[in-house]
Amino acid sequence: MSVRLVTLCVLAVCCLSEESSHRANATCPIRPQYRFYDVQGNTPEEVRASMVERGPKDAGGKARFAYTDWYVSWRWKKRPDGNVDTNTIALECSAEILLPRLRPVASTDRSLIRAWHEYAERMRDHELNHVAHVSVRAPEIISFLRNESARRGGLSPVSANKIVTGVVGRIKALDRAYDRATNHGLTEGIWTVGLSTDNMPLNSRREPSSFAP
């Protein structure tokens, strides 16, 4: 999982309606955009090798089979005193998910294709859980800003951006905790390069995938 952060304008020229800010406070809906890299093979071993060769790398250079980038942007108008008008705060959230896509050939066994579809669905579900963290937690930005503004009697854009960055940092931490808890999807049937079936917890609700490295 990767995250990139986008801060949009905080100038008085940003024109937002109060209605839009209320919608943003209720939820930060995301319709993920999907990208794919093609993999090939007639056996699980060949498919794995193709994913290792063509798949993404994480920040530490470790090969992963799927990847999610999510984005949070925010904006507001200023009050006459230069502080943030917390009634005009609006959020936008988006995400991009990179997944492998098997390109079978005429000789590819149908059982391999069926196994692949199940495996790919597990992988997609794991990445969508990362997206859900953003959708659910990003609206805290608005409530935190409003609470702090009420407590201080006003909030400067600099102070407001620090609060927003803190909320985004907590969402990143939630993503990291989720990957630690699932061993990057291992307990959900998703496998990362370098892991073997010996690492599968006994209480896993999923059977090890035939595509496990």
pLDDT per residue over 136-173, tens digit each? 999 999 999 999 999 999 999 999 999 999 999 999 99
In which residue are the tokens 């579900």 written?
125
User: Which residues share a beta bridge with 35?
Assistant: 98
Average pLDDT over residues 24-45: 86
- Distance CA(201)–CA(187), nearest Å, equals 7
Of these ranges, 42-46, 63-67, 143-147, 207-211, the one predicted with the greatest mean pLDDT is 143-147
- Nearest Cα to Cα of residue 150 among 90, 83, 91, 92: 83
Residue 118, classed as helix, strand or coil, is: helix
User: So what's the pLDDT on residue 163?
Assistant: 96
User: So what's the pLDDT on residue 26?
Assistant: 59
- Nearest Cα to Cα of residue 34 among 127, 138, 158, 136: 127
Q: Per the domain annotation, does 95 fall within a domain?
A: yes
CA quadruple 182, 183, 185, 189: dihedral sign: negative
Lowest mean pLDDT, pick from 1-10, 74-83, 191-200: 1-10
Q: What confidence category does residue 5 fall into, taking pLDDT thresholds of 50, 70 and 90?
A: very low
pLDDT at 194 over 70: no
Residues 6 or more apart whose Cβ sits within 8 Å of residue 152? 159
Let me know how long the chain is.
213
Q: Per the domain annotation, does 204 fall within a domain?
A: no
How is residue 186 written in tokens?
A: 């291992």
User: So what's the pLDDT on residue 164?
Assistant: 96
User: So what's the pLDDT on residue 44?
Assistant: 86
Q: Determine the structural domain holding residue 113 and report its residue range.
A: 2-199
- Supply the DSSP string of 16-62, one letter for each residue: --HHHHHHHHH------EEEEEEE--SSHHHHHHHHHHHS-B-TTS-
User: So what's the pLDDT on residue 48?
Assistant: 87
- The number of domains in the chain is 1
Q: Per the domain annotation, does 37 fall within a domain?
A: yes
Q: Per the domain annotation, does 206 fall within a domain?
A: no
